[in-house]
Chains A and B, each alone.
Chain A
């Protein structure tokens, strides 16, 4: 058993990746779903084990084929990656366990095995990015997860998914290629691809201009992948027209993983080694974050399709994460990283609720949702809890990250005060767009009388309530994500001189 535990970082990726081709062969109805869910639950269990390992014994590194680190391929699990693993595998499990009926309704039976195979590949790619400690491996995993998620998004019945996924493919590939150029420039100057080794060797590079160019390429490329404003244009339509469960899965973790590499590169590799990098990082990303928060929230306030509304809110939330990181302080980074976790909880739950609304309502515009609260009070209750967490009401997970973000902004002194005001204003904007949904759902007259009560998938209601309960639990007992993000922030900033 012990021998198996040592291989957990690799198994995290290998289990879903090997399961994917097997799933394609599983033709009987429901079997592909069962196998995919099983693999997903297994990776979730491994992720929990890894988190415990990190909490007890600190970061672990795994050498592929026992080749020593800078020459062989290294996998590394530290506090930051453990937190992300939890988010990625958890989102996959919740979306799959609850999503069977919803996916059955949206994906043709004959294509389901392929769909679930793509799901597993996306899961493998996303976990791979998080555990890899090698710049080129990260690129390959990034492309595996992206290609698979293009397939997932285009898999639904809505034809409007196709133009949006094409746009996503173009922008995603440009982002990944930019990242590849950056890695190439670093490799040219240092001759290494291992992140830890890279950090040491950049210090010895005399001419830093290529490294500076590399930092620019990598930051912009990953900002495209992470949908940081103004590079977010692919996100709203992709999330809106994807199958509901795919939106729940990807909204919770896909952009977060790109943010993870962005932070890892900028802090771990560049921060201590490039002159003035902290300043450049702040002055490039802070305005972008502020604009993202304001524009994302403002557009969400006027949006009529509930999925699009939540997608624009995601762009604002990505802004919060970047804003926290752009302070370049331990408090700010902790706030940003903990928000990765908390936002995944809130947005995941919201999109699960949207999938439930879709089983009953005729469409997903606010007009279609009129009176939905009376028809499905339980679902709507969970939706409101998750929405409160998104706004940041005390007692929910969202409050914890907002609180830490405001504390971090206060630490900055006088010029932190406008930022505090910004966070408060944007939270009020969130109240406005959430209220529009609540108003339509509670006080609107149903557009038509339902002929018969539609069947609501019970498992989905259960998973929805579990995630909603998690929003409250991590609001009251935030130790786990806070410890992990605190460690991660200290580790990332520990590389500063």
Chain B
């Protein structure tokens, strides 16, 4: 039960590592960016998970006073972090487009070879 109870955290760790692996191992720049997005998405999951309270509902005051609420703050934080993540991905893709225009390639090692010539 202990392991199943931590299901979300396992997904967080595995997703984080898949993303990290893609960033490090892939030579294609777009694939690297996909890895980076996964890496960031994993952290979103960490935040959302920790805000969840067992049996908690959305924190909207209903007047009864005895309802259990989930913590809304991590969700608000992640809303901001998602915006940051999108901007980063967009800028990264923009740079990839410029790289393709200048070098004619989006493979890391090919760009490196062109630069070394």
Contacts and interface: CB of A to CB of B under 8 A. Distances in A.
A217 to B, nearest CB: 10
Contact of B87 (A147, A162, A180, A184): A147
A162 B103 CA distance: 10
Interface string A115-154: 0000000000000000000001001100100010011001
B17 interface: no
A181 B46 contact: yes
A187 B98 contact: no
Contacts of B40: 173, 177
A159 B43 contact: no
A169 B84 contact: no
B43 A166 contact: no
A154 B112 contact: no
A451 interface: no
Interface in B72-88: 74, 77, 80-81, 84, 87-88
Given A163-B111, A177-B43, A150 B84 contact: no
A163 B43 contact: no
A174 interface: yes
Contact of B95 (A160, A169, A173, A180): A169
A184 B44 CA distance: 10
Which of A150, A160, A165, A173 counts the most B-chain CB atoms under 10 A from its CB? A173
Q: Which of A160, A166, A174, A188 has the most CB of B within 10 A?
A: A166
Interface in B82-117: 84, 87-88, 91-92, 95-96, 98-99, 102-103, 108, 111-112, 115
A170 interface: yes
13 contacts: A139-B84, A143-B88, A162-B103, A163-B99, A166-B95, A170-B23, A173-B88, A174-B20, A177-B43, A181-B46, A184-B50, A187-B74, A188-B50
Interface of B: 20, 23, 29, 32, 36, 39-40, 43, 46-47, 50, 74, 77, 80-81, 84, 87-88, 91-92, 95-96, 98-99, 102-103, 108, 111-112, 115
Given A162-B98, A177-B40, 11 more contacts: A136-B80, A154-B98, A162-B95, A162-B103, A166-B92, A170-B23, A170-B92, A174-B23, A174-B36, A180-B43, A184-B50
